[in-house]
Amino acid sequence: MSNAAGAYKALERRFHRLSVLGGVGGILHWDQSVMMPDGGAEARGEQLATLSVLSHELLTAPDMADLLDAAGAEGLADWPAANLALMRRQHAHATAVPADLVEARSKACSKCEMAWRTARKNSDFAAILPHLREVVRLTREMAEIKAAALGLDPYDALLDQYDPGNRAERIDPVFDDLATFLPPLLEAVLERQAAEAPLVLPQGPFPVDSQAALGRRLMAAAGFDFNRGRLDVSLHPFCGGGPDDIRITTRYDEGDFTQSLMGVLHETGHALYELGLPEAPWRHQPIGEARGMTVHESQSLLVEMQACRSPAFLEFAAPLIREAFGVSGPAYEADMLRRLYTRVERGFIRVDADEVTYPLHVILRYRLERAIVAGDLDVADLPGAWNDGMRDLLGVTPPDDRMGCLQDIHWYDGAIGYFPTYTLGAMMAAQLFASATEQQPDILPGIARGDFTPLVGWLRTNVHAHGSRYSADELLDRATGAPLSTAAFKAHLQRRYLGA
């Protein structure tokens, strides 16, 4: 780093400021979802827009290109050089698209998202069609411009925003493999589960305060640091804030504690990643940030699916659950909770889907959005294509568009190219967990006694502390000895669901 003076140091200061402003936006978003009174919405919108504009102005300042070039000539060491490459990437994404297109698209997305809320409720695809058409038109325009500037295919230019460096040609074979593997597995699992004794379900009410206390107890077991974070309530659960002050949310149903509890542990996985990101001098630099949505989702799914839905963890959790609610009986025995938490079904709704069917929901969306971006699928034909895909992949046909192509906010809010990261994250989680437990024999016994220290320690070293130093594939290769493949995920599903 001895040469890292001049232009590079100037860039560090600018990106530091950008990152701090990003953190400000994170708290405002959290507040908007958790605390803000309804009447504050318009003012909050303006605050967030002002921060965006300020950040965009900083990132696209006229002298930025020269600084990036000059820094490139400074002979930087490994981390600064990698940091500079990430700065270049952010700058390229920000400058590629003309400001008026960014603004037009942002407005179209807001409008479409508002209209979607009503259209979904009424299952009225025709009402949303003109709005979605406009979002798709502007997104395709943006994708083409970015593609030309970045030397990518248009779909990859979108995907790259969420999963830096990933490409559709890497995803296609993986998803094709899963699309072949999963339907017969699903059939076998359903058959097996149908032959079991009926589930005994927990019977509420489960007071919100007790659910929150239990959630905090298990978050703490999983390694969440309440000195640097919070658990609160919002309509749509999320993990926000930043590495010094991470905020996760959930939603409670007094009739059923099970979904919220596992949701809390899912968000805890996201939070642990943020809490473990590199400290100064890399904190507030692009290289100190989380490495895209696939890696982020791998961390939440590793904690939720790999660790917390395991029989070992549920053995630990069951007595705490009984104690939290003052209940007893077969519904609260570890094995019954395990059966509940691994129940599989052919559903219509992605966010309610289990571990086996979830990838099929994602593959459907990935194939459709690729066709839309390529111009091979007209938006008007989306409902039909959706239902055809559901029949092919999952063997069910949604009764209406509310349960079909209107269910997710993503496309209607302009997030095209995001969906694949869910399933890539699930695969990455399985691969990381398999290697971690092999390399570090204390991990599984730790989980069984509610002590995640060995697991989190391994993740810190092998994932969190790298920030954005490596691509997702390089990260995985270093941690597990291989780039992303379906093998570990398939093995995990066969073991957990078929005892194979």
Under 8 Å between Cβ of 201 and 340: yes
Among 6, 40, 75, 319, binds a second copy (CB under 8 A): 40
Which of the stretches 21-29, 261-269, 351-359, 455-463 binds a second copy when contact is defined by CB under 8 A?
A: 21-29
Residue 14 touches a second copy, criterion: CB under 8 A: no
Residue 39 touches a second copy, criterion: CB under 8 A: yes
Under 8 Å between Cβ of 311 and 334: yes
Dihedral sign computed on CA atoms, order 224, 230, 235, 238: negative
Under 8 Å between Cβ of 142 and 106: no
Among 37, 184, 198, 499, binds a second copy (CB under 8 A): 37
Kindly give the residue spans of alpha helices, DSSP state H, lying in 60-207: 64-72, 78-96, 99-121, 125-150, 154-162, 168-194
Q: Which of 12, 113, 134, 267 is flagged as catalytic?
A: 267
Residue 220 touches a second copy, criterion: CB under 8 A: no
Minimum CB distance to a second copy smaller for 28 or for 145: 28
Under 8 Å between Cβ of 413 and 117: no
Burial class (CB within 10 angstroms; exposed 0-12, middle 13-18, buried 19+) of 94: middle
- Please enumerate, by residue number, every residue annotated as part of a binding site: 266, 270, 297
Show the site string, 175-214: x = touches a second copy by CB under 8 A, - = not: ----------------------------------------
Please state the closest distance from residue 58 (CB atom) to a second copy, in A.
9
User: Residue type at 499?
Assistant: G
HSE-up (13 A, CA, CB side) for residue 306? 31
- Please enumerate, by residue number, every residue annotated as part of a binding site for Zn(2+): 266, 270, 297
Residue 56 touches a second copy, criterion: CB under 8 A: no
**Residues facing residue 309 across a β-bridge:** none
Please state the closest distance from residue 469 (CB atom) to a second copy, in A.
22
Residue 490 touches a second copy, criterion: CB under 8 A: no
Residue 23 touches a second copy, criterion: CB under 8 A: yes
Minimum CB distance to a second copy smaller for 244 or for 323: 244
> How far is residue 452's CA from residue 458's CA, in Å, rounded to a whole number?
10
Under 8 Å between Cβ of 73 and 275: no
Total of residues contacting a second copy (CB under 8 A): 32
Placement of tokens 């050089």 in the chain: 81
> How far is residue 262's CA from residue 267's CA, in Å, rounded to a whole number?
9
Minimum CB distance to a second copy smaller for 39 or for 326: 39
The radius of gyration of the chain's CA atoms, rounded to the nearest angstrom, is: 23
Minimum CB distance to a second copy smaller for 27 or for 81: 27
Residue 46 touches a second copy, criterion: CB under 8 A: yes
Minimum CB distance to a second copy smaller for 22 or for 483: 22
Among 31, 253, 474, 477, binds a second copy (CB under 8 A): 31
Which of the stretches 7-15, 48-56, 257-265, 404-412 binds a second copy when contact is defined by CB under 8 A?
A: 48-56
User: How far is the CA of 197 from the CAs of 127, 200, 266, 339, 340, in angstroms?
Assistant: 45, 9, 29, 10, 12
| Chain centroid, CA 351 distance in Å | 12
Please state the closest distance from residue 396 (CB atom) to a second copy, in A.
42
| Token pair listed for 268 | 């805890």
> How far is residue 231's CA from residue 261's CA, in Å, rounded to a whole number?
12
Minimum CB distance to a second copy smaller for 80 or for 229: 229
| Helices then strands, each counted (H, E), the chain | 20, 3
Which of the stretches 35-43, 60-68, 318-326, 422-430 binds a second copy when contact is defined by CB under 8 A?
A: 35-43
Residue 17 touches a second copy, criterion: CB under 8 A: yes
> How far is residue 120's CA from residue 196's CA, in Å, rounded to a whole number?
36
Give the containing element (helix H, strand E) for 231.
Answer: strand 229-233
> How far is residue 233's CA from residue 35's CA, in Å, rounded to a whole number?
9
Among 74, 141, 172, 245, binds a second copy (CB under 8 A): 245
Residue 254 touches a second copy, criterion: CB under 8 A: no
Q: Cis link prior to 205 (omega < 30° from 0)?
A: yes
Among 29, 44, 137, 216, binds a second copy (CB under 8 A): 44
Residue 227 touches a second copy, criterion: CB under 8 A: yes
Positions in 427-456 near a second copy (CB under 8 A): none
Question: Is 42 designated active site?
Answer: no
Residue 215 touches a second copy, criterion: CB under 8 A: no
Q: Which residues bind a second copy (CB under 8 A)?
A: 17, 20-21, 23-24, 27-28, 31, 35-40, 42-44, 46-47, 50-51, 54, 225-230, 241-242, 244-245
Q: Which residues are catalytic?
A: 267
